Structures are given as structure tokens and as C-alpha cells.
Amino acid sequence: MSFQNASAFLSPDFIIRAAAQPWELAGVRDLRHRVFVEEQRIFAEHDRDAIDAIATPLAAISTLASEADQVVGTVRIHEEAPRIWRGSRLAVAESHRRMGRLGAELIRLAVCTAHGRGCDRFLAQVQMQNVNLFKRLRWQPLREIEVHGVPHMEMEAELSAYPPIPDPFVGWKTLSPKRRRQ
């Protein structure tokens, strides 16, 4: 018998892929609600909009015994105009922000997926506290803007840093930084 608190355990293994299963799509919606409505209070009731109808939701999924367990990160992508893509609603569960890499892996999947679908430009409106992360991932700031009353930076990805991915539903597994060093 173990006396450790199982709820304190966070698996170091994650699946990064497009969300497709009903439980994954529900997890994406729930996570976005927790982050943008409850935590950040950017929206009063929900963060859904018309883009959700055309966007591809991507997810970081935690694992338990090497099996998919729960959605702990998300971002959505859509083609805004011919060959111009946009990412939005990047969110990582508060419990998993200290794991590192989940936001970066979601950004990588987002841009590589759009690149694989013929993207010539990939843009995002990034909250100011995340600008340095995007810069490290080879994004360029374009201009400061305000979105839903929150300061953001319009940014553009350097596509040459993101090889095209033909099928985002296959995705990949990633390990937390601590686990990779072992």
C-alpha cells in the first residue's frame, strides 16, 4: 500500500495532437473555460466564438500508465484568408504550467500543421506575458494591440523553423524537461 497522495502526481509524459475524440473536444472546451473565463476573467460566460466552427483544436493530453488521460493544454488554428493562418486561445492548465514545454509543443504543432496545409503566414495575438516564449520559438513581434481589453502583441512565426506536418491527428509524445534529462 502506498501512502503517497496520488492527486499530487503529474505524469511527465504527454501526447500532442489534434483533438478528435468527444472527450478530447470536451476537455478543450472545459480547459478554455477554466483559463479564459474563471481564471483570467477575460470573458463573462464563455470564450466560444464563430472561429470555433472553422478552427482545428489541438491538445496536450496528459497520460496515465502511458494511456491518454486528460486535456491539459490547447490551442486552435484556422485559415483566416487564403494561405494566412492564425492561432488563438492557447491555454495550459494551471496544474501543468510548471511542467514546461506544453505551450511550446502546442505552438509547434499549430504552426507545423498550418505549414503542412499550405500556410504562407502564421499569426497570433499573444498576451504580453507570453511574448518572450514566442520570441524564443522564432516569432517576430509586429505591433501592440488590445484584445478583449487585454494588452497583446500581434506576432508572426518564422515558418522556416516549423517543418510541415501532414497529419496533426497522429501527433507525438513528449516528455517533461525533468524526464528528458534522466
* Cα gap 52→61, rounded to integer Å: 20
Q: Which residues contact 98 (CB under 8 A, 6 or more apart)?
A: none
Tens digits of residue pLDDT in 58-90: 999 998 877 778 999 999 999 999 999 999 999
Task: Provide the 8-state DSSP code for 55.
Answer: P
CA 171 to chain centre: 13
Which conformational region is residue 89 in: left (phi greater than 0), alpha (psi within -120 to 50 degrees), or beta?
A: left
121-127 and 84-92 as β-strands: parallel, antiparallel, unpaired?
Answer: parallel
CB-count burial class (<10 Å; 0-12, 13-18, 19+) for 175:
middle
pLDDT value at 6 more than 60: no
Mean pLDDT of the 24-35 span? 97
User: Confidence class of residue 9 from pLDDT cuts 50, 70 and 90?
Assistant: low
Identity (one letter) of the amino acid at 47? D
Q: Write out pLDDT tens, residues 98-126.
A: 777 899 999 999 999 999 999 999 999 99
Q: DSSP letter at 62? A: E
Whether residue 175 is predicted with pLDDT greater than 80 in this model: the reply is no
Length of the chain: 182
Cβ partners under 8 Å of residue 21, min gap 6: none
Mean pLDDT of 131-156: 97
Q: Looking at the whole model, is its pTM more than 0.85?
A: yes
Return the C-alpha cell found at 56.
Answer: 482545428
- Report the chain's mean pLDDT, rounded to a whole number: 90
